[in-house]
Amino acid sequence: MKRATKIDSMSSRRLFRIATLFLITISTVFAFGQEDRRGRKYKAPPETMKIDISVVRATTGKPIPNAAVIFHPVNEKGKAQGAMELKTDLDGKTTLDVIPIGSTVRLQIIANGFQTFGNDYVANADAKEITIKMERPKSQYSIYKGNATGDQSGQADEKTVKPQSSKPD
């Protein structure tokens, strides 16, 4: 009878070892199986530039509070892709720090009683400070008021450069 219990204890140990080895093997297989190569890989967000905007009156230099500062990200073709609007505080200042370095942003400033401002800026540094001097509206351009030459009071400068002809010698 002792022999039967001895055999039973040996077979139970053997069975326990086999079960343990089986569990270790299965858990190892599942551990390697969890590395999903089809899933998304983490991609770090691009470096961004901090833009500090100050909006002031052109005549006195006093800040303009509650002016709308609108950022239009521009793609390679020059088309705006959405917009982000901020308002200036009592000191006429606002800050944006989500423009990726290397991109172009079209800045538009709208304030009650002032001429709308717009310009394109390239995000080419870690930080940029821009002071916008807002002017009162001027008279509207008209070709009927003696402006037939196309001169718009110095608002635009234009130069035409003719390409050099390359003649074979």
What domains are defined for the chain? 48-134 (2.60.40.10)
The pTM score is 0.57
Residue 139 pLDDT: 75
Q: How many residues does the chain have?
A: 169
Rounded CA gap, 58 and 141, in Å?
21
Rounded CA gap, 48 and 105, in Å?
12
> What backbone phi and psi angles, to 5 degrees, belong to 27?
-65, -35
Q: Is 133 exposed, middle or buried (0-12, 13-18, 19+ CB in 10 A)?
A: middle
Residue 158 pLDDT: 46
Q: From first to last of the 169 residues of the chain, give the pLDDT tens digit.
A: 555 555 566 677 788 888 888 788 877 776 665 555 666 788 888 888 899 999 999 999 999 999 999 998 888 887 878 889 999 999 999 999 888 888 888 999 999 999 999 998 888 888 889 999 999 988 776 666 655 554 444 444 445 455 565 555 4
